[in-house]
Amino acid sequence: MSIVFFDTEDWEKEVIPKHIGGVPVIVEERKLGTDTINIALEAKVISIFAWSTISKELLDQLPNVKCIATRSTGVDHIDLKACAERDIVVCNVPGYGERTVAEHTFALMLALSRKILPGGDRTRGGSFSREGLRGFDLEGKTLGIVGCGQIGRRVAEIAQAFAMDIIIYDIEQDEEFAQKIGGRYAKTLKELLEKSDVVSLHAPLTENTKHMINMETIEHMKSGALLINTARGDLIQTAALLKALDENKIAGAGLDVIEHESLVGEDVEILSNDNQSNLKLSALLRNHILLSNPKVIITPHNAFNSEEALSKLLNTTVKNIESFLSDKKQNVIS
């Protein structure tokens, strides 16, 4: 019996315990997949990051696994139904990077509103001209927050400090919190989009939220609004976003996540494989167009990546595993 950590970085190898609950720990830098599954054949517990996808087919090859401890808040990379059918406990790390992601959200927002990237590129090129670099203040602008969990709440608190008007759309409403930050809830997503100068997405990815920003919903947005996404790439329909940017319906987008982001950097492999589907090729092309659009800032799924957040992430994961082994489960999703 063993515990296997996949998707690890060098610093994690130094701090992950050699044993947890008396069980030996194996640390693997590669993600869990068909080429690394042999490492986990005897594992009772596996810990993965968001880059590893746990499918039913993969679980069929891991008969000894009883717990999956994901080092993330989101669990859309894990087939929860298949885990439930096999009585596999799935644990996550709720709230480890809410402040970190909220700060990154505003980094993207400010970079767009004050044209930081083109200004920096111009200065680095030897010009001090301000032509075309006029931005706008966030004070007095309406920020629409879609999904107001722990991250959305931190975003709202920062927005309050910027003297922004705040409107929230969420299936659960906390009127006391809204009053505290001087905001209010929208009755519908349409209402939020119509009133927001900046729309920031913080919703989980579900069947109901996939492509919530699409051709139809974008039509309800203010012309010239900004769109920020530090949640999940599939919340936005890329084709609809490209069209809105081309037509100046959306003035700019700050994205830490994009649809099919795993395809980025795999151009040669995809284009040289005659068996690739047209859907994958189309997704690759759309992402390239998005990456090259001067109205768009894309960071590499990096919003969570601070020293403080990652330390909390790993410590909580170890505690999740300890709790599972001692039959005192915590942070259980399934």
Give the residue numbers marked as catalytic.
Answer: 232, 261, 301
- Beta-strand pair 89-91/67-70: parallel
Q: Which long-range contacts (CB under 8 A, 24 or more apart) does 102-105 make?
A: 102/151, 102/154, 102/155, 102/157, 102/158, 103/158, 104/230, 104/256, 104/299, 104/302, 104/303, 104/304, 105/151, 105/155, 105/158, 105/200, 105/202, 105/228, 105/230, 105/254, 105/303
- For 43, which DSSP code? E
**What's the rounded Cα separation, in Å, for the pair 55 and 82?**
8
| Tokens standing for residue 178 | 């809204």
Amino acid (1-letter code) at residue 13: K
Chain CA centroid to CA 165, Å: 25
| Tokens standing for residue 144 | 């629409």
| Strand ranges of the sheet holding 142-146, from the earlier edge strand across to the other edge | 183-185, 165-169, 142-146, 198-201, 225-229, 250-255, 296-298
Handedness of CA 34, 35, 41, 44 (dihedral sign): negative
DSSP 16-27: S-SEETTEEEEE
If DSSP states are collapsed to H, E and C, what string results for 125-184? CCCCCCCCCCCCCCCCCEEEEECCCHHHHHHHHHHHHCCCEEEEECCCCCHHHHHHCCEE
Burial of 292 from C-beta contacts in 10 A (0-12 / 13-18 / 19+): exposed
